[in-house]
Chain A
């Protein structure tokens, strides 16, 4: 029998072409898994360590993941992979939280959410919910680093006296509560996403963290409100006026049934 060299060549070509595509895919998924594993390792094994080293490693991982995502987003077929990489990138940037990563954090979250919107029903639930949540979560955590219960505890109007520092703290707490309320409102709005209800893992993740930040906010707000009331009722000597009324302080209350899906 005479073989047809052309057909054979075609078959061989097809084989090799197909093999190359598969190999690249496998390499990409392997990289995804490895990047994921590495960030998980840093965040779990080095969780108690705050060091420039850790922040640098996270930042590098974030850059790598974002680069992969930015490449993969060009092909709709790889949108899910891009979304996964954007998830990794936002996590890495959130946990490193250096000034030069903030922009990249928002960029990654936004880019990933856009891909989620395009995929619509077929978007990966977990990653897309996470890309929505990560923004208010990171924002609330950053705000807590600036103003938190320790700040509140430095204000004592029970002694009927208000120092300039105490007034400054109150003003800072007020600004922080206003921003935090907006972030919380944004976070609670995500509960309308049906996927959150159906994905039990993400629901648990959301409820665990939202409860903490809501409880913290309420406690901080109440302590702040009590002090505003004490200032206006008890303080006889003040370094300068406190331009926050009781009404303004009360207006920072969260809706009564905030975080309904977690009850």
Chain B
């Protein structure tokens, strides 16, 4: 064995191994390694903008909105004002998006369009990520976005691309500036309230769309809503901190239902009416201002909420909105400015009237007032012709007063035991209010009936109350009494100053009351003597028909009954006596027929029909 060879051999092996180790060393040292990048804090809008403009000075120089604040010589955007930075950032985002889209192969037109969407979306996300409080308009935009996102997950059908919901949100976004005063520092505490109201109204609008698949709101309607409703609610925020707390609490309760009422009205008044304007925004603003001002103002230590309740105030507002839609001119002054003081006075005055009558507190009183507002408002022009020196609000207040007085008398008709008399105890409060409405409606259709100085509303209601009290045996149902009220009101309106005027009757009562009471007393006596329905005709439908016929006949000659108030009573005794003696000849139809045929002569000439005449009437076929 050659020893040198072995040594060389070993050296060779070692060198090979060493070469491997060197290669491994090079690999270990020179392999790709991870080198960390510098970690910087996020850019703000301002630094992003400045970097973008540094890289694109040509865009800075030629773009309106930036060029005015770009110092070409030094390459500076010379403002740190946040609103100017915001506006410039919006432009920057759009450009960035355009560049990206063009790189991705979009044509110029599509890139321009989609860039706006991208830029807007990134702007929203950027605002959301910022830690400092955004400006008012940003805050509002985020509110709209957040509520829109809520509906995206719960009602995707109304918030998809090009959907009704998306259009409504866009319309809201387009009107945000209406909420912001010229100088933002004037906003103060109102910013938070405005944000909240905005959210409530958008939710109500999207909710309305969800519930009505055919409804669409256009941009003009939303603009009207903003200026006429949202803005006045915000503007009425009091300056005093403690008053603000109360106002905000009320607004929390009122804003949602108010918004629903407005959207409902909007839907009712624009559906199918292409191009029709929803409402006059000044008139809308006047009413909203008046209502939301009245909720905070006090009279004798209270506000309208104390009298009408929150639910009642909403009903009042709804009624007023109805008048706004039909008669916007009522809320606009001669110089074309919105007139809200008078309506506010009406609201406060109404509350003051109703305060004296606990029976009318709460929603019922509000319903009554709402009815007056709606009815008087709708017929205001006719009423104002009668009372040219008085605004319609004063007429409405007087009408309400008389209606309430009249209805209050009904509630005062109590017996020794303290319960209501006759049919009054069977009528619920709602039905009594309905009586008031019927009379009121007829009154406004005949303006003289609602005349300020000689209004008949109160006497009619008072007279009807007297008549109802006379129905001791409850021979008429509440529904029948409502029908009689309608006839009485209609006949009274056709004969103003006659039926319910005491001067026409010799016993000091209005003639209609005298006649109805006589009929009811006769019916009652008959009922009692027969111990019920058996053998009695004068009750229920028959009695109702007789009373209606009597009321209608009072439009004719009433000379005899005016001089002799007992005449009708005598006639009824005679008729019921005949019916009792001749049950085979006279049933309920026959009684009605004889009464209708004879009552005119009875009232006018005092002539009662003879028995032969009765028989003749009964045997005559009606054609």
A residues apposed to B, CB below 8 Å: 1, 4, 7, 11, 14-15, 18-19, 21-22, 25-26, 29-30, 32-33, 36, 39-40, 43-44, 80-81, 84, 87, 91, 94-95, 124, 126-127, 130, 137, 140-141, 144-145, 148-150, 152-158, 201, 205, 208-209, 212-213, 215-216, 218-220, 222-223, 225-227, 229-230
Would A11 and B7 count as touching, CB distance under 8 A?
yes
Other-chain residue from A40, A80, A126, A157 in contact with B34 (beta carbon distance below 8 A): A40
State in angstroms the CA–CA spacing of A60 and B10 once bound together: 41
The chain A residue with its CB closest to the CB of B15 is A18
Instruction: Give how many B residues have a beta carbon under 8 Å from the other chain's beta carbons.
Output: 45
User: Would you call B298 an interface residue if the criterion is a C-beta within 8 Å of the partner chain's C-beta atoms?
Assistant: no
Contacting residues, chain B, for A212 (C-beta < 8 A): 37-38, 40
Cross-interface CB contact of B46 among A44, A94, A152, cutoff 8 Å: A152
Which residues does chain A contribute within 8 Å of B35, judged by CB atoms?
91, 130, 205
By DSSP majority rule, is chain A's interface helix, strand, loop, or mixed? helix
B21 close to A216 (CB less than 8 A): no
**Contacts A25-B24, A218-B51 given: A153-B46 contact, CB under 8 Å?**
yes
Q: Is the CB of A124 within 8 A of B29?
A: yes
* Contact indicator B47/A149 (Cβ below 8 Å): yes
Q: Write 16 A-B pairs (CB below 8 A) sorted by A numbering.
A: A4-B3, A14-B10, A18-B14, A29-B24, A30-B28, A32-B29, A39-B34, A40-B34, A94-B36, A95-B36, A141-B39, A149-B41, A149-B47, A152-B46, A219-B50, A227-B80
Q: If A7-B3, A40-B33, A149-B43 touch, does A215 touch B25 (CB 8 Å cutoff)?
A: no
- Residues of A within 8 Å of B54, CB to CB, are 215, 218-219
The distance in angstroms between the C-alpha atoms of A95 and B34, with both chains bound, is: 12
Q: At the interface, yes or no: B17 with Cβ under 8 Å from chain A?
A: yes
A184 to chain B, nearest CB (A): 12
B24 touches A226 (CB 8 A): no
B21 and A11: CB pair below 8 A?
A: no
Cα A150 to Cα B44 in complex, Å, equals 7
A216, chain B: closest CB distance, angstroms: 6
- Give the CA-CA distance A155 to B38 in the complex, in Å: 26
Bound Cα distance from A7 to B5, whole angstroms: 13
Q: Are A216 and B34 in contact (CB under 8 A)?
A: no
Q: Bound state CA distance, A220 and B54, in angstroms?
A: 12
B113 in the interface (beta carbon within 8 A): no
User: Which of B28, B77, B82, B131 lies in contact with A156, CB distance below 8 A?
Assistant: B82
Query: Chain B 17-33 against A: per-residue CB contact (8 Å), 1 yes, 0 no?
Result: 11011001101111111
Chain A minimum-CB-distance residue to B21:
A25
B299 at interface (Cβ–Cβ under 8 A)? no
8 interchain residue pairs of minimum CB distance: A29-B28, A40-B34, A219-B50, A219-B47, A149-B44, A158-B81, A18-B14, A148-B41
Binding site for A on B (CB under 8 A): 1, 3, 6-7, 10, 14, 17-18, 20-21, 24-25, 27-44, 46-48, 50-51, 54, 76-82, 131-132
Which of B10, B41, B81, B132 gathers most chain A CB within 10 Å?
B41
Bound complex: CA A32 to CA B31 (Å): 11
- Asked if residues A140 and B38 are in contact (CB atoms below 8 Å), the reply is yes
A145 touches B41 (CB 8 A): yes
Chain A hits for B36, CB < 8 A: 43, 91, 94-95
CA distance A222 to B17 in the complex (A): 61
Whether the Cβ atoms of B34 and A43 lie closer than 8 Å is yes
Known A219-B46, A219-B47, A226-B76; contact A153-B38, beta-carbon cutoff 8 A: no
Flag if A209 contacts B44 (CB, 8 Å).
no
Partner of A213, one of B29, B31, B40, B79: B40
Known: A18-B17, A213-B38. Contact between A152 and B78, CB under 8 A?
Answer: no
A226 to B69, CA, bound (A): 11
**6 more A-B contacts (CB under 8 A) besides A81-B29, A84-B29, A216-B40?**
A26-B21, A130-B35, A140-B38, A218-B51, A222-B76, A225-B76
User: Which residue of the partner chain A has the closest CB to B75?
Assistant: A222
A227 to B37 Cα, complex, angstroms: 30
C-alpha gap A26/B10 in the complex (Å):
19
Given contacts A33-B31, A152-B44, contact A215 B51 (CB under 8 A): yes
* Chain B residues positioned under 8 Å from A11 (CB to CB): 6-7, 10
When distances are taken between beta carbons in the complex, the residues of chain B under 8 Å from A124 are 29-30
A148 touches B24 (CB 8 A): no
Question: What chain A residues lie within 8 Å of B81 (beta carbons)?
Answer: 156, 158
Nearest opposing residue in chain B for A153, CB measure: B44
Q: Is the CB of B50 within 8 A of A80?
A: no
Q: Are A149 and B30 in contact (CB under 8 A)?
A: no
CA distance A36 to B29 in the complex (A): 10
Chain B nearest Cβ from A14, distance in angstroms: 6
User: A152, B47: Cβ atoms under 8 Å?
Assistant: yes
B6: chain A residues at CB < 8 Å are: 11
Residue of B nearest to A226 (CB): B80
Question: B37, A208: Cβ atoms under 8 Å?
Answer: yes
User: How far apart are B8's CB and chain A's nearest CB, in angstroms?
Assistant: 11
The answer for the CA separation of A26 and B46 in the assembled complex, in Å, is: 54
| Chain A positions within 8 Å of B28 at CB level | 29-30, 32-33, 81, 84
User: CB-CB < 8 A to A223: which residues of B?
Assistant: 46-47, 50, 80
Contacts of B1 in A (CB 8 A): 1
Q: B34 — which chain A residues lie within 8 A by C-beta?
A: 36, 39-40, 43-44
User: Which residue on B lies nearest to A4, using beta carbons?
Assistant: B3
